[in-house]
């Protein structure tokens, strides 16, 4: 069974005054195999965020289907949602919460009892143990991104989805984030990431799907795709 199965997925945003809006996804189908790092590559405006937001339950698709770990996002949205952790592009934290509190609150949101939470362990995994009690507003951009990853893993999802994790970050931080993603994958987490950097997809991903103007134009193991270039 694939980690994620997407069939003929379509999204047309609502237009002005009843006019048809932007066709952001136009019949996209692919599987994300379990255990892989899967890259969704494409230029700005290709439809990558739309696809991620549909999986996250934040945007309603207009056609097709998506299953996450076997759970259909329409028929079984709660279970489907529990199978993924989403790392959004935008960093949004209350500046006066600490990393530990951010993770504890997220645990509470998922109904995880205090004793079953793994906040300390997650902080260690993203190398933030020494920032446990610092205000979020004092963290560097890189630390905030790492905290976002820990937050997405609070409910121990088998799939982690990162939307443009390294957009606008410097080389050093990019390397750190790559290492973190690789590390999580080695521990068994299936990773899906979107990017518009070919180099990033090549370095990191087992398989790459390319999306352009809402259509899937390639879907291959990375070494085959790179061999073609």
Instruction: Note the residues at the interface with ligand ADP (CB under 6 A).
Output: 13, 21-22, 24, 42, 44-50, 81, 84-86, 109, 152
Helical H runs in 32-73? 48-55
Query: Which backbone phi and psi does 29 adopt, to 5 degrees?
Result: -130, 130
Q: Are 21 and 12 in contact (CB under 8 A)?
A: yes
Which secondary structure element, helix H or strand E, spans residue 161, and what is its range? Answer: strand 159-163
Residue closer to ligand ADP, measured from CB, 32 or 84: 84
Residue closer to ligand ADP, measured from CB, 63 or 130: 63
CB of 123 to ligand ADP, least distance (A): 16
Residue closer to ligand ADP, measured from CB, 48 or 146: 48
Residue closer to ligand ADP, measured from CB, 149 or 225: 149
Q: Are 164 and 53 in contact (CB under 8 A)?
A: no
Helix (H, G, I), strand (E, B) or coil at 71: strand
CB of 7 to ligand ADP, least distance (A): 19
CB of 14 to ligand ADP, least distance (A): 7
Residue closer to ligand ADP, measured from CB, 139 or 163: 163
What does the DSSP assignment read for 101-140?
HHHHHHHHHTT--GGG--HHHHHHHTT-GGGTTS-GGGS-
CB of 10 to ligand ADP, least distance (A): 12
Helical H runs in the chain? 48-55, 77-82, 99-109, 119-125, 141-152, 171-186, 198-204, 222-228
CB of 209 to ligand ADP, least distance (A): 12
């Amino acid at each position: 069974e694939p980690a994620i199965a997407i069939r003929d997925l379509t999204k047309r945003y609502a237009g002005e005054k009843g006019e048809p809006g932007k066709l952001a996804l136009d019949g996209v189908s692919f599987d994300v195999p379990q255990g892989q790092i899967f890259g969704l590559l494409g230029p700005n405006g290709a439809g990558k965020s739309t696809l991620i937001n549909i999986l996250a339950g934040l945007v309603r698709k207009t056609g097709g289907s998506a299953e996450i770990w076997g759970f259909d996002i329409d028929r079984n949205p709660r279970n489907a949602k529990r199978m993924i952790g989403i790392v959004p592009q935008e960093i949004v934290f209350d500046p006066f919460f600490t990393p530990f509190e951010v993770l504890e609150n997220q645990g509470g949101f998922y109904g995880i009892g205090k004793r079953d939470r793994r906040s300390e362990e997650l902080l260690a995994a993203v190398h933030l143990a020494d920032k446990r009690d610092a205000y979020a507003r004092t963290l560097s951009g890189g630390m905030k991104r790492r905290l976002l990853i820990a937050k997405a893993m609070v409910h121990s999802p088998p799939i982690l989805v990162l939307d443009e994790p390294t957009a606008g970050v410097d080389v050093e931080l990019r390397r750190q984030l790559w290492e973190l993603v690789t590390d999580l994958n080695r521990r068994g987490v299936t990773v899906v990431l979107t990017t518009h950097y070919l180099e990033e997809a090549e370095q990191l991903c087992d398989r790459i799907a390319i999306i352009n103007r809402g259509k899937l134009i390639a879907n291959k193991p990375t070494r085959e795709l790179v061999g073609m270039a």
